[in-house]
Amino acid sequence: MSSYTKPAPNFDLSSPSPAYTLASGDKMPIIAYGTFRSNPGEVGPAVIEALKAGYRHLDLAHVYGNEEEIGKALKQAFDEGIVTREELFITGKLWNSDHDVEIVPQAAAHSLNNLQLDYFDLYLIHFPVCWKHTGLATPSDGASELGDTPLIDTWRAMEDLVEKGVCKNIGVSNYPMMLMHDLVTQAKIQPACNQIEVHAYYQRESLVNYCLSRNICVSAHTPLGGGVLNSETWDAPIPLKDAIILEIAKNHGKSRAQVLLRSLLQRGIVILPKSVKPHRMAENKDILDFSLTEEEMKKIATLDKYVSYKTNPNPRSSFMGGPDAFSALGSDIFD
């Protein structure tokens, strides 16, 4: 029988505005607004609506291709007094083709210029893979070739960004446990966060608890397991359609999405739900007025299939057409 004691959540869910306290002391709101899969022309208005709905943590990435539109929306929000920069926690990400040491500060500056901002609250290495640089305005996402910059060298360049005030905190995304530990043993500035695929069907207990035990925030970039789009596109099973989730939702008078999001919060995980629909934005935030019982959490734990559904765009297919595609589907960096 294991004597392991699970780390306690870093935040207080009874607080009206719960936040994760990072190692730096900075406060990260535990419910973020995600901007992945937001189409041109809709992401700007969606960000404005999210800010009006009370979101104060925005999750962005250069490769999403929408930084400039979001920058215009942020300027509008500041100009109209909807929110101030100081009230926001903004996360950005370094793309795979920008890992070279001399490119890292240029990539961060490029993104900040797009966003019309002076600094990131958190800046993440998007994936643990280096590709050859293809230009700041043209991030590689097809026929991508492996580069030769070690991950730790990229991290050293990230640490320099903190020292220069470009980023208040730095972290990683999509890092498995042993890469995470390798970084922890070498980092001068410890990673503040690991943003990963984690949901009811892929619970990743070892990785989550490893990070939390070292006060490394875990944030879920696909807290609903990819949602209906994954189901329709790849015929992937999704937690939203699970009978156990539906039963628990009925018991609480909540939606299935709200149950899935709340379950992650109760595990101490920050969530990044995404929607461009105002009523969904409000619903995704309305999860602090109920709690799941220990028995309900145990039921959700039984749903773990221990299988990644690649709900973040795994860069496997990005290798297609290039010299480093090592299978008919590209190259899976997590093999």
Point out which residues pair with 63 in neighbouring strands.
none
Alpha carbon distance 98, 32 (integer Å): 25
- CA distances in angstroms from 80 to 35, 52, 66, 117, 184, listed in the order given: 21, 11, 21, 16, 42
Terminal Cα-to-Cα distance of the chain (whole angstroms):
31
Is residue 33 flagged as an active site residue? Answer: no
**Annotated catalytic residue within 20, 55, 64, 201:** 64
Q: Which residues are catalytic?
A: 64
